[in-house]
Amino acid sequence: MGRRQDPKAVPGDGHAPVDGSRSEEYVAALAARDRAEYALRASESRYRQALLATQAELAKSEALYSVASSLVVAETVEALLQRVVDAVAGALGAERVSLFALDMSRKLVTGTYRAGPGAAEVVDLSFEDLMEGLAGWVLRERVVTLSPGGVRDPREPDHIHKRRRERGHGPIMVAPIVYRDRSMGVIVAANKPGGREFQQPDVDLLSAMASQSAISIENAVLHEMLEAARSDLEERVAHRTAALAESEERYRRITETITDYVFHVELSGGNVVSTRHGPGCVAVTGYTSADFDADVGLWLDAVLLDDRAVVLEQAREVESNTRMRAVEYRIVRKDGAVRWVRSTPVPQCDHDGTLIGYDGLIQDVTERRALQEQLLQASKLQSIGRLAGGVAHDFNNLLTAILGNAELALLDLEPEHPARADIEEITKAAEGAARLTRQLLSFARRQIIEPVALDLSVVVDSSLEMLRRLLGEDIQISSVCDDDLGLVEADPGQLQQVLVNLSVNARDAMPDGGHLVIEISNEVIGEEYATTRPEIAAGRYVTLAVTDTGTGMSDEVLSHLYEPFFTTKPQGRGTGLGLATCHGIVKQSGGHIWIHSEVAQGTTVSILLPQVAGPPGSAAVAPAPQPPARGTETILVVEDEPSVRRLAVLGLRSNGYMVLEAADAAEALRITATEHGIALVVSDVIMPGMQGPELASRLRKLRPDAKMLLTSGHADGPEAFRDADGRPIAFLPKPFTPDRLAHKVRAVLDEEA
């Protein structure tokens, strides 16, 4: 029996055909099967390639999305750059990625950002090194470049290639970051030696990511700029808001405390419709803004004193727009006080030029006007003082001659001589004139004083008995003194003269009797009060106040009080120098004096003297008159007044001295140059050509051993008694007698050098 063939057998399944007739079919089946298997494998290969391409595109898209997403995320530039580097490293699978941000205008590498395990080993590059390598070529050409590992890239200089080879030369890609033709930096992706080589898709991906990064970086830069601008704007707004609040608060404080005030007058048809007054109106007028609002005519009807015409004239000028000037006038405050104010208007017009109102400022200028009056009075007194000082100087020269010659004449007359009484009367008259001259010098503040630290109460107590005899029994005198009274520096004799002058004036103001009170007290002048009286400095003072209950004085009399020879007393009752002398003495002692007086109410004279430290002193006591000691020394007398020079020469020669004489400084220098035995030079202070102190300095250079004695009827103070080198010079005031001159000469000659 033959074998049964399996009907399911097919060619190529290992079963040979049962007969030759079917061999062709078998071969054809095998060929068809092979073709099908090849087609299947080709299809699978294409699918795998398509899958890989899709995955690459997906990775590229994800990387680009990661970079592009920064466009809508508010980040700092630094954070964005680091994010770009991380995205590139993830997309390319690069082992190390670096981004170099550049400032091309300043040629600086402004920042480096790295990703990958080898990031810490990357060396920072300078701008020059970066531009010499691949990065420079890429920035210049603006294309992505690829350099395979282990191969020398001809675009790199030797030193950069050497440095890369030392660290291991792997594959590297460099892409430029360019935004709108502006180079912003480069991205560098690298693998280690022997690592994966970068392919064209990697180049395309890096190029796309670099382009996207440029947009992201620009966006981040703009965002930072906007944030900075917003922050700066917010800071400025906050600062200006705070400044505005501070300014408003300062303005509020000023308007609430200022003594000046602003006002507004609204007009309609030339008539006052309403007025508005700032809060300062209370300080100036005593009336409130509500008082003025309730009565439009209050200012003209109640506040103005006698200057209504001045205010109305100013209003007419403002209404006619002819002038805009400030005027000063008097007002009466609500409390009745009279004050001076200054009003400054500013017209307000509509678009047609019609006056619809005016604003203004009103200032209280009472204190300023008082200071101006004081300054005017001081200037007037200063001019009179200079005149009085000059007169006293010339007058003292005449008195020196009169007194000196009278003394010489008396020496030659017997006690019973009939002319002796006449000459003694001449002497008395001359001494009276000398006292008058001293008063003039005190007024002019050119009297020679000997100040010491003293207690004013001692001066007052020692003068009370004399004052009681001087004033008489109809006037009661009392004194009040503070405990622990401070000391002042003054000449006690001159202060006693002040007390006498003030007491005599008080007696004449109380012809029917009255009460005189002398008060001495400590006084502290604060800074606030000192600002209202600029002539007085803040500090500690002693006040001497003399008050009487007499007839008082009018404002007109008060304005002339310190003028010499001004008096309200009957003819022959006074010289008019009493208060002028007091004023000069007080000012020369560094003090201040002012007078308050009301008609039929009395007068108070207040003297303010600065306190000083130290133990109290006392004035030198003049010794009893003794005949002058005689001498034989050679003395040079320099005096431009012939009568005074003759008197000095005769007096000194009568006491045994050898006397040379010169009419001026030039002659004195010639005599000194030839005479070698001069022991003393007696010179006037004020001479034509050269002053006494200058002459003293010149003579001391010629004759260092010669001593100097200056004389004058007028001196400017202690500095007049020093030579040009600052050394003190002995001084004898005029008028002097031959006897006083001889005493002073002997004292100077006997002084140790």
- Indicate the pTM of the whole model: 0.38
Range with the lowest mean pLDDT among 6-10, 84-88, 143-147? 6-10
Which of 335, 364, 393 terminates a domain? The answer is: 364
- Is 218 found in the same domain as 115? yes
Q: Minimal CA–CA distance to 519: which of 490, 479, 491?
A: 479
Same domain, 639 and 709: yes
> In terms of domains, do 736 and 657 share one?
yes
* Lowest mean per-residue pLDDT among 50-54, 615-619, 658-662: 615-619
Considering the domain boundaries, does residue 688 fall inside one?
yes
Q: Looking at the 3D structure of the chain, how many domains does it have?
A: 4
729, pLDDT greater than 60: yes
Say yes or no: 271 and 181 in one domain.
Answer: no
The domain that holds 112 is classified in CATH as 3.30.450.40
Range of the domain at 547: 449-612
**Would you say 188 and 135 are in contact if contact means Cβ atoms under 8 Å apart?**
yes
Q: Which residue has the higher pLDDT, 103 or 533?
A: 103
- Tell the residue number behind the tokens 């200006």, with chain if given: 240
Is 583 found in the same domain as 483?
yes
Residue 417, Cβ neighbours under 10 Å: how many?
13
Rounded alpha-carbon distances, angstroms, from residue 202 to 68, 148, 172: 18, 13, 11
CB atoms within 10 A of CB 339: 18
- Tell me the three state secondary structure of residue 732: strand
- Using DSSP, state whether 460 is helix, strand or coil: helix
Neighbour count for residue 488 (Cβ, 10 Å): 26
Same domain, 645 and 601: no
Is residue 477 within 8 A of residue 516, CB to CB? The reply is yes
Using CB atoms within 10 Å of the CB of residue 48, give its burial: 0 to 12 exposed, 13 to 18 middle, 19+ buried: exposed
Q: Which two tokens stand for residue 207?
A: 């190029």
Any domain includes 291: yes
Confidence of residue 445 (pLDDT cuts 50, 70, 90): very low
Q: Are residues 92 and 154 in the same domain?
A: yes
- In terms of DSSP bridges, do strands 338-349 and 327-332 run parallel, antiparallel, or are they unpaired? antiparallel
Can you tell me the mean pLDDT for 249-272? 70
Q: Residue 439: pLDDT above 70?
A: no
Q: Is 60 exceeded by the pLDDT of residue 449?
A: no
Decide which of 447 and 186 is more confident: 186
Per-residue pLDDT at 682 exceeds 80: yes
For residue 688, the domain's CATH number is 3.40.50.2300
Q: Is the pLDDT of residue 142 over 70?
A: yes
Question: pLDDT band at 657, cuts 50/70/90?
Answer: very high
| Co-location of 575 and 655 in the same domain | no
Short-list 641, 638, 521, 506, CA closest to 578: 506
- Picking from 183, 208, 226, the residue at the C-terminal end of a domain is 226
Q: Is the pLDDT of residue 565 over 60?
A: no
* pLDDT band at residue 718 using 50, 70 and 90 as cut-offs: very low
Q: What is the DSSP letter of 721?
A: G
Instruction: Calculate what percentage of the chain has a pLDDT beyond 90.
Output: 2
Average pLDDT, the chain: 75
pLDDT at 719 over 60: no
- Residue 5, in any domain of the structure: no
Q: Which residue has the higher pLDDT, 719 or 251?
A: 251
Question: Can you tell me the mean pLDDT for 310-337?
Answer: 71
Sign of the alpha-carbon torsion through 231, 237, 239, 241: negative
Q: What is the mean pLDDT of residues 455-480?
A: 84
User: Does 279 lie in the same domain as 148?
Assistant: no
Residue 389, pLDDT > 50, answer yes
The residue from 561, 580, 612 where one domain ends is: 612
Residues 87 and 221 both lie in one domain: yes
Find the CATH number of the domain harbouring 316: 3.30.450.20
Q: Are 77 and 216 contacting, i.e. CB atoms less than 8 angstroms apart?
A: no
Q: CA 77: distance to chain centroid?
A: 48
CA–CA separation, 439 and 579 (whole Å): 10
Reported as half-sphere exposure (CB side, CA atoms, 13 A), residue 190 has a value of: 25
The C-alpha R_g of the chain, in whole angstroms, comes to 57
